[in-house]
Amino acid sequence: MASNVKILLVDDNPMVLGMLQQALAPMGEVTVATDAADALLKAVDDLPDVLISDYRMPGMDGRQLLEKLKSRPATSGIAVIMMASKGDISERLSMQDPIEDFIEKPFFLKDATHKIKRVVDRIALEKLTKASSTDGILRGNLSQMNVIDLVQSLEMGRKSCLLTMTKGDDKCQIYFNQGQAKHATYGSITGDEAVFKVLRWTEGNFQIDFNGKSSQETTTLNTQGLLMEGLRLLDEAQRDAASEGEEDVLLDT
């Protein structure tokens, strides 16, 4: 879905590296490194958009890799996600460091993938925006980025805009202010219900007008609340049809 994003994944544990690589493959172009020195060379040679690095590694650790990348103008803009134990995060790392997010080890693969995907989707949207037309409107297909990913990306990027989605004769419009969905319409339906109607869409077209504004406020939940409640309703409706048996994996070291 986010095939325009380059991801560099570094971990000295082959099992963790392999499982994360497989989980992240649908998100973009994934390159792997087994130590920080190799990751530094690969980052300089082929600039990634996102670096996902283990903190504790032999030789150069994740913190030293981060410092070297951020000290170079060419690599300083890389978004960094650090995988570290709770102790390392509280004692050695902090959000004051130029880190996009943390993944606390041990972690479940699904949880880590979800957290990484939010960052990747935001960067994918930023890259699409830079490549968009000069009229301030970004156009795309929901096969590139579905509704949930779009909404989360606009929230994380704190965007103010009008998001219009169409599928056949159906159309939904959502107005955002600083990443928060304030007003939504779907035919004669407005507010929260209008957003819930389109969350399952993975086909159709979208258009983001960064000059689009509305003074109306019809939604009662914030953006995350809309997504959580909408997904809860979808899960409830699809529970009987949902497949079972997919097990999550806890990764450590």
Minimal CA–CA distance to 214: which of 192, 188, 184? 184
Across the chain, what does the average pLDDT equal? 87
> Are 111 and 26 members of one domain?
yes
Instruction: Report the pLDDT averaged over residues 230-243.
Output: 72
> Are 171 and 218 members of one domain?
yes
> Are 58 and 156 members of one domain?
no
Determine the pLDDT at residue 96: 58
Instruction: Report the pLDDT averaged over residues 199-226.
Output: 93
> Are 14 and 117 members of one domain?
yes
Domain-embedded: residue 1: no
Domain-embedded: residue 253: no
Q: Angle at the Cα of 123 (from 121 to 129), degrees rounded to 5? A: 105
Determine the pLDDT at residue 191: 96
Which of 103, 126, 149 is the C-terminal boundary of a domain?
126
93 pLDDT tier (thresholds 50, 70, 90):
low
Domain-embedded: residue 201: yes
The whole-model pTM stands at 0.72
CA distance 209 to 253: 45
Domain-embedded: residue 249: no
> Are 122 and 140 members of one domain?
no
CA distances from residue 209 to 13, 164, 166, 190, 233 in whole angstroms, order as listed: 44, 8, 14, 19, 29
Write down the H helix ranges in 46-191.
Answer: 62-70, 86-91, 109-130, 147-156
Determine the pLDDT at residue 1: 47
Determine the pLDDT at residue 2: 47
> Are 115 and 147 members of one domain?
no
Q: Give per-residue pLDDT as tens, 124-182.
A: 888 877 766 566 788 888 887 889 988 988 998 889 999 999 999 999 999 999 999 99
Instruction: Report the pLDDT averaged over residues 201-225.
Output: 93
DSSP state for residue 248 in the 8-state scheme: P
Which of 126, 160, 179 is the C-terminal boundary of a domain?
126
Domain-embedded: residue 85: yes
Domain count, the chain: 2
* Percent of the chain predicted with pLDDT > 90: 57
Q: Give per-residue pLDDT as tens, 58-88.
A: 889 988 999 999 999 999 999 999 999 888 8
DSSP state for residue 168 in the 8-state scheme: T
Q: Give per-residue pLDDT as tens, 13-65.
A: 999 999 999 999 988 999 999 999 999 999 999 999 999 999 999 889 988 99
> Are 122 and 144 members of one domain?
no
Q: State the angle between helix axes of 109-130 and 14-24 in degrees (0 to 180), rounded to the nearest 10.
A: 50
Which of 87, 108, 126 is the C-terminal boundary of a domain?
126
Domain with 211 in it = 135-238
- Check which CATH number belongs to the domain holding 70 and give it: 3.40.50.2300
Domain-embedded: residue 74: yes
In 144-191, DSSP assigns E strands to 161-167, 170-177, 180-186, 189-190
> Are 111 and 165 members of one domain?
no
> Are 166 and 216 members of one domain?
yes
> Are 122 and 91 members of one domain?
yes
Domain-embedded: residue 110: yes
> Are 115 and 143 members of one domain?
no
Domain-embedded: residue 243: no
Please state which of the ranges 1-5, 56-60, 238-242 shows the lowest mean pLDDT. 238-242
CB 237 within 8 A of CB 196: no
> Are 210 and 163 members of one domain?
yes
Tokens of 196: 């819930």
Q: Give per-residue pLDDT as tens, 98-117.
A: 788 899 988 899 999 999 99
